[in-house]
Amino acid sequence: MEKINLDQKLSLFTDYWNPRIIGELNGQHVKLAKLKGEFIWHQHEHEDELFYVVKGKLRMEFRDKSIDIHPGELIVVPKGVEHKPIAEEDVHIMLFEPASTINTGNIENELTRKNLVQL
């Protein structure tokens, strides 16, 4: 049992839209990811998803609105709600979600990441 430093873990990878697992508890994963550009519209049928912004400004688009999330802020996207993350500049986030969660949710394409690395 050791503490986890987010900046140290973030220094271990550079690629975007490819979450790393940094912790597990109660069937949930704690992940870190670097984002840049636009992701795809998707939803998670069975998983609520928490985005906590560590660096940069994350724009979360929903079908009826858009919310800018800054460092020290978080948003919970409930299951079944379509969303599309956008990062105009480099964004670093921490995610909390069930271990079963796939990054692209109901969509499977070249952005889909499975068998995530644990740092």
* C-beta of 27 vs 110, nearer to a copy of itself: 27
Q: Establish if 75 lies at the interface with a copy of itself (CB under 8 A).
A: yes
Q: Establish if 88 lies at the interface with a copy of itself (CB under 8 A).
A: no
* Burial class, 23, CB count within 10 angstroms (exposed 0-12 / middle 13-18 / buried 19+): middle
Give the whole-angstrom CA distance, residue 88 versus residue 68.
11
Q: Select from 18-26, 34-42, 107-115 the region that touches a copy of itself (CB under 8 A).
A: 18-26
7 to each of 44, 46, 80, 119, how far by Cα in Å? 28, 30, 31, 12
Closest CA to 119 of 30, 17, 53, 51: 30
Q: Establish if 5 lies at the interface with a copy of itself (CB under 8 A).
A: yes
* C-beta of 25 vs 114, nearer to a copy of itself: 25
C-alpha neighbours within 13 Å on the C-beta side of residue 48: 4
* C-beta of 3 vs 114, nearer to a copy of itself: 3
Binding site for a copy of itself (CB under 8 A): 1-7, 23-26, 28, 30, 47-50, 54, 62, 67-70, 72-78, 81, 96-98
